[in-house]
């Protein structure tokens, strides 16, 4: 269709829209979570950004900076990025070396001190079993951060791979992958967790991680697919193809670096939500189990006697909320820095 | 239009089958339901065989699924092992969940859109920044923490609202769980409204409306808000579907005997029919909500074509 081609050339967005609509899934990618919401605006912004910049006459030509260099310049001056970044570094240190922050063993409990409030040397008080809440909060970081990081890495890997392949090749492979993603998307995540995790009797961190990856990859696959479809239609990809680049080279050298930004943003925010998810699953009794020390377990155990000893719940809950907030704020700041429309 | 609806309905079929089958397989992997029924005692072989035959437990799993689905379309969800029909469980649970949904949804719409509009119109000011930060904080705190803290403060300590719901479901007792349930979605609605309002304030039609001398409230309500609400409405539609699926956590904290509560009990007691029946209904609601949102989207925004 020659007409269609002319139309495409005059408006680079026309093609992008068509292809998207053609492969619409039965369950639209509704922006049900913050991650997807932010990632999609980023993809949209990228689409608008393919008009070449015209350098102003007379202006001295500066060395062109890449998107990431630009973003880094912005981020270094963003207080939200600095605060959340420092918080995350601190949390990671706590997770790796909890012994640096407390000398009390979180499993060393004294029933005579059950539910006692904060005292000197034990600033967060004791829980029902007489364990030191401060030590348990410090040691609980490890389980939460491990689940968050591993689940995010897993679902980002699976999601990017499948979503990228679906977006790059299109056709039947796209249809198959999109439908499978729809099926997993149709299961409410908490409900799936209750059913799936109560089947398995082994309670380890890795089971919880595997479960989150199984139900979490469709979200990242959708973002990856959208980003790859957008990147695929840019002129530099056509140019590379015309120069004889094969599919592998196109994908790895040209499309992936340009499609990875929204995936990173969504994954960072997802990390925060996965940590909250692990706590919620532990609260419902299907996540981690003692003797693993985790914020979710502690909050769940403390919830029965919240009105008598609120400190048992409030300290681990605050630690959990701050961790989730730090990751969400980091993702938010990175998104703002990567969005060319906001410049 | 008709073709579009038909195509979407056809696309739903494999998703429906896939999701329900997945849940069916997972629930049946929970363990032998007959053994679960008898607890610690070993069942009498003859009785066990009779129960197995009655519930089709001897067939291969896919055949069990097909038979189950066949009955389902005749509105027969089977009975639990205690003899109660799943249909009666649904009838008992759904009115409660619908009431809770109505309360939560109203709070979400009124405050979410209100805060989002306020923040989008004052972009970059204190009101905007505080809404942005507050919504992030709300999103970061897990629902069960918000639930317990509000239940303790509002319900127990200050005694403003009832702390639990129980069997006697009144509007007043649902207010607190409604706030807890709505809080996270409210934050999303506010952020989404803010983004679209802030984008559209620069649109040509708003400038035209201001230039032709319309009063500010008419510009904001008739021109700006109306166009900005399109993505918000789609979010709200899907969220309504999610809310009707019951709230596992909120219903557990406030002792509300709705869908989420019944489902949780079903899973804990390994009541296969309850779980599969409820989940099937949930998946249908979820898919229908998505379809309705798509149609609504096209009605609100005439630029959308039905391909």
Do B133 and B282 fall into the same domain?
A: yes
Helix axes A12-22, A34-48, angle to 10 degrees: 140
Residues of the domain holding B161: 93-300
Judging contacts by C-beta atoms under 8 Å, the chain B residues touching residue A28 are: 290, 293-294
pLDDT tens profile A278-325: 888 888 888 777 777 888 888 888 877 777 777 778 888 888 888 988
Query: Using the beta-carbon criterion (under 8 Å), do A182 and B267 form an inter-chain contact?
Result: no
- Check: CB of residue A213 under 8 Å from CB of residue A158: yes
Task: Assign domain A69-342 one CATH number from 3.50.50.60, 1.10.3720.10, 2.40.50.140, 3.40.640.10.
Answer: 1.10.3720.10
Total domain count, chain B:
2
Distance of alpha carbon B149 from alpha carbon B179, whole angstroms: 12
Distance of alpha carbon B19 from alpha carbon B275, whole angstroms: 13
Q: Which two tokens stand for residue B5?
A: 């609806």
Do B159 and B295 fall into the same domain?
A: yes
Query: What residues have CB less than 8 Å from A250, skipping those under 6 apart?
Result: A168, A237, A240, A241
Q: What residues form DSSP beta bridges with A119?
A: A122
Task: Say whether pLDDT at A6 is over 60.
Answer: no
Do B18 and B66 fall into the same domain?
A: yes
Point out the domain boundary residue: B72, B105, B131.
Answer: B72
Task: Say whether pLDDT at A70 is over 90.
Answer: no
**pTM for the whole thing?**
0.79
Q: What residues form DSSP beta bridges with A42?
A: none
Query: What residues have CB less than 8 Å from A334, skipping those under 6 apart?
Result: A71, A75, A81, A264, A265, A268
- Chain A touched by B5 (CB under 8 Å): no
How confident is residue A19, by pLDDT bands cut at 50, 70 and 90? very low
Report the sign of the C-alpha dihedral through residues A26, A31, A36, A37, in that order. positive
pLDDT tens profile A231-240: 888 888 888 8
State mean pLDDT over A102-131: 69
Facing A320 at nearest CB: one of B26, B142, B152 = B142
Lowest mean pLDDT among A11-15, A292-296, B110-114: A11-15
Do B15 and B159 fall into the same domain?
A: no
Query: Using the beta-carbon criterion (under 8 Å), do A198 and B235 form an inter-chain contact?
Result: no
Do B45 and B191 fall into the same domain?
A: no
Do B118 and B62 fall into the same domain?
A: no
Query: What residues have CB less than 8 Å from A119, skipping those under 6 apart?
Result: A125
- Chain A touched by B290 (CB under 8 Å): yes
- Chain A touched by B4 (CB under 8 Å): no
The pLDDT score that the predictor gives to residue A52 is: 47
Do B243 and B105 fall into the same domain?
A: yes
pLDDT tens profile A138-162: 888 888 888 899 999 999 999 888 8
Point out the domain boundary residue: B12, B42, B72.
Answer: B72
Distance of alpha carbon B286 from alpha carbon B237, whole angstroms: 10
Domain parsing of chain A, residue ranges: 15-64, 69-342
Point out the domain boundary residue: B72, B103, B127.
Answer: B72
Do B213 and B255 fall into the same domain?
A: yes
Task: Establish if B191 belongs to a structural domain.
Answer: yes
Do B60 and B190 fall into the same domain?
A: no
Report the sign of the C-alpha dihedral through residues A97, A100, A106, A108, in that order. positive
Task: Establish if B88 belongs to a structural domain.
Answer: no
The pLDDT score that the predictor gives to residue A122 is: 66
- Check: CB of residue A168 under 8 Å from CB of residue A255: yes
Q: Which residue of A has its CA nearest to B285?
A: A186
- Check: CB of residue A313 under 8 Å from CB of residue A306: yes
Query: Using the beta-carbon criterion (under 8 Å), do B287 and A279 form an inter-chain contact?
Result: no
Distance of alpha carbon A57 from alpha carbon B251, whole angstroms: 65
The answer to whether the bond into A135 is cis (omega within 30° of 0) is no
Task: Establish if B28 belongs to a structural domain.
Answer: yes
Q: Which of B144, B194, B306 to mutate to test the interface with A (most CBs of A within 10 A)?
A: B144
Q: Which two tokens stand for residue A148?
A: 């968050």
Distance of alpha carbon A194 from alpha carbon A287, whole angstroms: 9
- Check: CB of residue B23 under 8 Å from CB of residue B276: yes
Please report the DSSP string for B135-159 in residue order: HHHHHHS-HHHHHHHHIIIIIIIS-
């Amino acid at each position: 269709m020659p007409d269609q081609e002319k139309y495409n050339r005059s408006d680079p967005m026309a093609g992008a829209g068509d292809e998207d609509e053609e492969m619409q899934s039965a369950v639209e990618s509704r922006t049900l979570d913050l991650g997807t919401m932010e990632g999609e605006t980023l993809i949209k912004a990228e689409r608008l950004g393919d008009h070449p910049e015209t350098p102003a006459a007379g202006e001295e030509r500066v060395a062109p900076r890449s998107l990431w260099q630009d973003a880094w310049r912005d981020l270094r001056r963003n207080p939200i990025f600095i605060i959340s970044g420092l918080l995350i570094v601190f949390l990671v240190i706590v997770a790796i070396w909890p012994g640096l922050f407390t000398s009390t063993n979180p499993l060393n409990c004294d029933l005579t001190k059950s539910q006692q409030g904060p005292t000197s040397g034990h600033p967060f008080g004791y829980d029902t079993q007489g364990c030191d809440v401060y030590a348990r909060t410090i040691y609980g970081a490890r389980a939460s951060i491990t689940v968050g990081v591993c689940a995010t890495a897993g679902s980002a890997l699976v999601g990017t791979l499948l979503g990228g392949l679906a977006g790059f090749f299109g056709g039947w492979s796209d249809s198959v992958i999109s439908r499978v993603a729809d099926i997993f998307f149709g299961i409410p995540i908490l409900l799936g967790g209750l059913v799936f995790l109560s089947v398995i009797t082994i309670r380890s961190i890795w089971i919880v991680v595997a479960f989150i990856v199984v139900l979490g990859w469709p979200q990242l696959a959708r973002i990856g697919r959208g980003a790859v479809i957008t990147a695929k239609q840019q002129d530099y990809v056509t140019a590379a193809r015309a120069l004889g680049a094969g599919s592998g080279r196109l994908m790895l050298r040209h499309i992936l670096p340009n499609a990875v930004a929204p995936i990173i943003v969504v994954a960072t925010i997802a990390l925060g939500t996965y940590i909250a998810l692990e706590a919620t699953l532990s609260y419902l009794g299907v996540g981690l189990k003692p003797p693993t020390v985790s914020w979710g377990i502690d909050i769940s155990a403390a919830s029965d006697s919240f009105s008598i000893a609120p400190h048992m719940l409030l300290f681990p809950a605050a630690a959990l909320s701050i961790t989730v907030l730090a990751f969400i704020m980091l993702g938010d700041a990175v998104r703002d820095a990567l969005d060319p429309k906001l410049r | 239009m008709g073709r579009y609806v038909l195509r979407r309905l056809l696309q739903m079929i494999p998703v429906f089958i896939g999701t329900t089958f997945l849940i069916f397989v997972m629930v049946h992997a929970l363990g032998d339901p007959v053994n679960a029924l008898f607890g610690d005692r070993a069942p009498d072989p003859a009785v066990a065989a009779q129960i197995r035959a009655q519930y089709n437990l001897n067939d291969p799993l896919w055949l069990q699924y097909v038979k189950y689905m066949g009955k389902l379309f005749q509105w027969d969800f089977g009975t639990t092992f205690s003899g109660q029909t799943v249909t009666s469980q649904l009838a008992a649970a759904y009115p409660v969940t619908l009431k809770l949904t109505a309360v939560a949804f109203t709070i979400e719409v009124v405050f979410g859109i209100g805060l989002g509009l306020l923040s989008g119109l004052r972009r970059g000011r204190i009101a905007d920044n505080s809404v942005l930060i507050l919504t992030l904080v709300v999103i970061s705190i897990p629902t069960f923490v918000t639930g317990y803290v509000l239940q303790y403060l509002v319900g127990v300590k200050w005694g403003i609202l009832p702390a639990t719901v129980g069997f006697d479901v009144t509007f007043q007792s649902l207010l607190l769980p409604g706030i807890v349930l709505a809080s996270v979605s409210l934050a999303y609605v506010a952020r989404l409204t803010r983004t679209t309002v802030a984008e559209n304030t620069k649109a040509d039609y708003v400038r035209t409306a201001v230039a032709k001398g319309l009063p500010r409230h008419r510009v904001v309500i008739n021109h700006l808000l109306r166009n900005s609400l399109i993505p918000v409405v789609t979010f709200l539609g899907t969220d309504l579907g999610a809310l009707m699926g019951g709230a596992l956590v909120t219903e557990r904290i406030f002792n509300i005997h709705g869908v989420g509560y019944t489902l949780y009990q079903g899973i804990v007691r390994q009541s296969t029919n309850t779980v599969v029946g409820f989940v099937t209904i949930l998946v249908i609601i979820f898919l229908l909500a998505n379809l309705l949102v798509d149609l609504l989207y096209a009605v609100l925004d005439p630029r959308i074509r039905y391909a």
